[in-house]
A and B are shown apart, each in its own frame.
Chain A
């Protein structure tokens, strides 16, 4: 077995050093009744060539986005990944490292995460970002408990325009905590400001919105922040598509107190839903309540700059039952991927990619809206996703598009029965005009 280097002779030497006759002797502390008396029932060991062939076969049974024109987003986005990302972030020196508990030999990882935190602050307009959470949905769940703790209030108000799976996770996360979750119905594809004002009370810990929201609409952040703050509630903004922040106002700008989000679009592969990158950022005054790891810059005994994990008294390995969260292992590698991606794109590139997304989506939106039988469901401004009202069930449209190599948008009825013919279409910079025109041509034939 190539992963186990000990030869039979070495095993004998080691057993002799330990003072036992056989390996079996090392397991005498396990009660006989619970020892497995048969081999595990698993497929026989496979050689590397056989295994690779098998893995290629399994992969070939999937149809990936290299083989389709993808107009599907809804929380997972098909963006171009520069070659720097896999070549640098997946270097084994990063890939096979553990959490940087021994800071002196882990300066590379620590500095990269410090830079990642800085980039997240720049993108979101916040003061502090942590080293990563699991994904956008769980980060939003953690933000709710953070907000409840900070305000000493028990009610969370969440817009129904937040990603349905984020809302499900929030409900699961809070199901056994003294936190109640209320949903604010969306109107015309946005979070209604007046209804939010009416719903927020002095018992509300936070209003959670997403922008651009699940329907692709850009929310009125200023008004919603004001509505929350008028009652001392916090505004939590989930950003499921952080590429948008190359073009759109950062949530810190309109008063967000906590920003969560999904960093997958920042250089991470679609990966059938994971591993992804949970983002969380907040204001300076809340830093001691933020969950997860933080990297800080300091100096060594000779005055050289260096980096360490810091403010660890918030964390489970120190504070145990009183920690701000139970998170330990996070998504460091995905954060590193985001850092390499954002460094490569840089100050100009993130604006350019965001603008390309917005322009292409705008073109697709206008063309589809002009088709007989099709209409935009909502009027609100959008970034790279929008909802189309279709003349036939969207699942049917998707089936027909698939035959032409197009992966269509998300049938909205899956999450919103009231929008049964709603179709959530996403256009990233990856889509060409030719692909958009082809999509429109096919739509014309399915009415």
Chain B
């Protein structure tokens, strides 16, 4: 294998900042085209009384259409994306977002339908939702699925509110939610937002949840254990059946954070493992684009005992006709207006139809093989805190580089940008110091994986031989390291017109 090319210096033009859009253009310049009013002229005061009208126009940009085009094109070039390169971001499943999904979702027949249009005008949309619910129920082993949550954390909150309602219905009040110390930050945050006290349980030396500690924490005040499986170390919880039994023994509910579902499609189903309720991130496993931070879609699946509490409406089929059902007396209510991030649901449906059962299983198999391959090639040069066969991702530690060369994980992550790769997830999970969490996904080729390994090994060498080069990285990005301390101390959160 050839050594990676050492990054070369970019011309200074490359680093020239883009002025904010407000600074482009000039007073009076326009970039829009609207029809003239074709209704009889009425005095504006008769249309909207002056007392309700704004005194000063909003200071929006005054730019031409080409100004807008150049500006956002320039900004797009200052962005890293899956379409540009490898994104080994652990827990985020940055796999390829198929183009056909975009073509399907952008059709006017999906993108231009009104959420309150009469049901007979949206039968195709309702059919898609119904079919997608059944596919997701089959994939997860759950009985019903709601697509109302807009993202994973929103799904967590939805599930916890349903669990609350379930206990309320049984005449019980339970105030505690347990999360492992390896959990995503959204888990404890969602539990607090749902009104629960959070108890953290530690992990054991193999990277599983500590079963004794869990049992000690399980009282009859516990409403749920929020569990990620495979967990955030990329390891399958080997004692899942004991965990499920212990949780159910105190009458609590077992919740799956399905962020890591890409490891187990068609291989094992949470419903069969004993989970009562779960969320899926459709913007991870099911290829809906992440959009630079969203929109996502956080499907929530439930076993039948929790189905009465699903948010309204559900989609029901009556013969060949599909309908929205709001008549669900035990519902938790609504988590957002309308039905969910429908545009993303079209994309997820398209993906599932492309893959079929065999394709989904193959995706997980290759995601896991790719991860184990990377692990096998990186394990000698970085510390490996949990040495087991991994699932779709694994966690290394940069503590050797930190202790021996004073080069931190953050430094190495920034240096990776110079080699043309996005960095892995770093400093998470919190239980691994200097954590480097790597998730390759199934859509990357062996050449890409090898290129990434070469870059990682080159950086490990650089940490020894030229630590300063790594400490001051990135060198080849549009900007060097940014002053985050001042950004937080003296927040500048908006452009203001000069006085």
Pairwise interchain contact B94-A98, C-beta atoms closer than 8 A: yes
Besides the known contacts A13-B446, A332-B295, A407-B117, 20 further A-B residue pairs in the complex with CB atoms under 8 A apart? A17-B373, A18-B369, A23-B365, A29-B389, A33-B241, A88-B69, A92-B83, A105-B478, A114-B494, A115-B21, A134-B336, A136-B337, A271-B341, A272-B110, A308-B487, A310-B491, A321-B191, A330-B293, A331-B295, A355-B37
Say whether B76 faces chain A, with CB atoms less than 8 Å apart.
yes
**Residue in B193, B343, B494 whose beta carbon sits within 8 Å of that of A271 in the complex:** B343
Contacts of A34 in B (CB 8 A): 240-241, 268-269, 272-273
Contact of A119 with B75 at beta-carbon distance under 8 Å, contacts A1-B355, A132-B294, A298-B492 already known: no
Q: Contact string, B453-473, partner A, CB cutoff 8 A, digits 1/0?
A: 000000000000000000010
Say whether A28 faces chain B, with CB atoms less than 8 Å apart.
yes
Closest residue of chain A to B475, judged by CB?
Answer: A104
Pairwise interchain contact B336-A316, C-beta atoms closer than 8 A: no
Binds A, one of B2-10, B148-156, B209-217, B246-254: B148-156
Say whether A201 faces chain B, with CB atoms less than 8 Å apart.
no
Say whether B245 faces chain A, with CB atoms less than 8 Å apart.
no
Q: Contact string, A127-166, partner B, CB cutoff 8 A, digits 1/0?
A: 1110110111110000001000000000000000001011
Pairwise interchain contact A76-B311, C-beta atoms closer than 8 A: no
Pairwise interchain contact A300-B483, C-beta atoms closer than 8 A: yes
Pairwise interchain contact B363-A3, C-beta atoms closer than 8 A: yes
Query: Which residues 166-180 of A sit at the B interface, judged by CB distance below 8 A?
Result: 166, 168-169, 171-173, 175-178
**Residue in B48, B59, B342, B481 whose beta carbon sits within 8 Å of that of A247 in the complex:** B48
A246 to B44, CA, bound (A): 14
A19 to B139, CA, bound (A): 30
Contacts of B484 in A (CB 8 A): 298, 308, 310
Q: Contact string, A217-228, partner B, CB cutoff 8 A, digits 1/0?
A: 010000000000
Contacts of B15 in A (CB 8 A): 304
Say whether A396 faces chain B, with CB atoms less than 8 Å apart.
no
A242 to B417, CA, bound (A): 39
Contacts of B116 in A (CB 8 A): 72, 74-76, 410
Say whether A48 faces chain B, with CB atoms less than 8 Å apart.
yes
Say whether A62 faces chain B, with CB atoms less than 8 Å apart.
yes
Pairwise interchain contact B48-A248, C-beta atoms closer than 8 A: yes
Pairwise interchain contact B272-A138, C-beta atoms closer than 8 A: no
Say whether A60 faces chain B, with CB atoms less than 8 Å apart.
yes
**Residue in B156, B293, B352 whose beta carbon sits within 8 Å of that of A326 in the complex:** B156
Closest residue of chain B to A42, judged by CB?
Answer: B357
Query: Which residues 35-56 of A sit at the B interface, judged by CB distance below 8 A?
Result: 35-36, 39-46, 48, 51-52, 54-56
A331 to B184, CA, bound (A): 20
Pairwise interchain contact B57-A351, C-beta atoms closer than 8 A: yes
Pairwise interchain contact A51-B350, C-beta atoms closer than 8 A: yes
Pairwise interchain contact A108-B79, C-beta atoms closer than 8 A: yes
Pairwise interchain contact B58-A1, C-beta atoms closer than 8 A: no
Closest Cβ of chain A to B477, distance in Å, is 4
Closest Cβ of chain B to A78, distance in Å, is 7
| Central interface residue in A18, A127, A295, by most chain B CB within 10 Å | A18
Contact of A62 with B110 at beta-carbon distance under 8 Å, contacts A102-B413, A102-B423, A326-B189 already known: yes
* CB pairs A–B below 8 angstroms (7 shown): A42-B352, A75-B116, A109-B75, A169-B337, A171-B333, A323-B192, A346-B31
Contact of A39 with B358 at beta-carbon distance under 8 Å, contacts A23-B368, A29-B389, A135-B336 already known: yes
Contact of A274 with B486 at beta-carbon distance under 8 Å, contacts A34-B272, A345-B60, A363-B40 already known: no
Say whether A392 faces chain B, with CB atoms less than 8 Å apart.
no
Contacts of A33 in B (CB 8 A): 241
Contact of A96 with B58 at beta-carbon distance under 8 Å, contacts A6-B445, A274-B340, A330-B294 already known: no
A301 to B29, CA, bound (A): 36
Say whether A275 faces chain B, with CB atoms less than 8 Å apart.
yes
Closest residue of chain A to B87, judged by CB?
Answer: A98
Pairwise interchain contact B368-A26, C-beta atoms closer than 8 A: yes
Binds B, one of A182-190, A191-199, A334-342, A370-378: A334-342
Contacts of A62 in B (CB 8 A): 109-110, 113, 121-125
A164 to B151, CA, bound (A): 22
Query: Which residues 103-118 of A sit at the B interface, judged by CB distance below 8 A?
Result: 103-109, 111-115, 117-118
**Residue in B60, B89, B359, B488 whose beta carbon sits within 8 Å of that of A347 in the complex:** B60
**Residue in B52, B341, B363 whose beta carbon sits within 8 Å of that of A381 in the complex:** B52
**Residue in B445, B481, B491 whose beta carbon sits within 8 Å of that of A104 in the complex:** B481
Pairwise interchain contact A275-B114, C-beta atoms closer than 8 A: no
**Residue in A35, A250, A317, A350 whose beta carbon sits within 8 Å of that of B267 in the complex:** A35
A254 to B480, CA, bound (A): 43
Contacts of B472 in A (CB 8 A): 301
Pairwise interchain contact B69-A45, C-beta atoms closer than 8 A: no
Pairwise interchain contact B268-A168, C-beta atoms closer than 8 A: no
Contact of A343 with B186 at beta-carbon distance under 8 Å, contacts A58-B128, A138-B335, A300-B482 already known: no
Say whether B203 faces chain A, with CB atoms less than 8 Å apart.
no
Contacts of B443 in A (CB 8 A): 3-5
Pairwise interchain contact A176-B164, C-beta atoms closer than 8 A: yes
Closest residue of chain A to B375, judged by CB?
Answer: A18
Pairwise interchain contact A331-B357, C-beta atoms closer than 8 A: no
Say whether B144 faces chain A, with CB atoms less than 8 Å apart.
no
A300 to B20, CA, bound (A): 17
Closest residue of chain A to B322, judged by CB?
Answer: A61
Contacts of A20 in B (CB 8 A): 372, 389
Sorted nearest first, the 9 A-B pairs with minimum C-beta distance are A273-B338, A59-B109, A333-B291, A61-B124, A45-B356, A332-B293, A273-B115, A176-B195, A275-B295
Contacts of B49 in A (CB 8 A): 381
Closest residue of chain A to B58, judged by CB?
Answer: A122
Say whether B62 faces chain A, with CB atoms less than 8 Å apart.
yes
Contacts of A169 in B (CB 8 A): 333-337
A104 to B426, CA, bound (A): 15
Closest residue of chain B to A67, judged by CB?
Answer: B108
Q: Contact string, B179-208, partner A, CB cutoff 8 A, digits 1/0?
A: 000001110111111111010000000000
Closest Cβ of chain A to B469, distance in Å, is 14
Pairwise interchain contact A346-B62, C-beta atoms closer than 8 A: yes
**Residue in B118, B124, B185 whose beta carbon sits within 8 Å of that of A320 in the complex:** B185
Pairwise interchain contact B337-A308, C-beta atoms closer than 8 A: no
Say whether B35 faces chain A, with CB atoms less than 8 Å apart.
yes
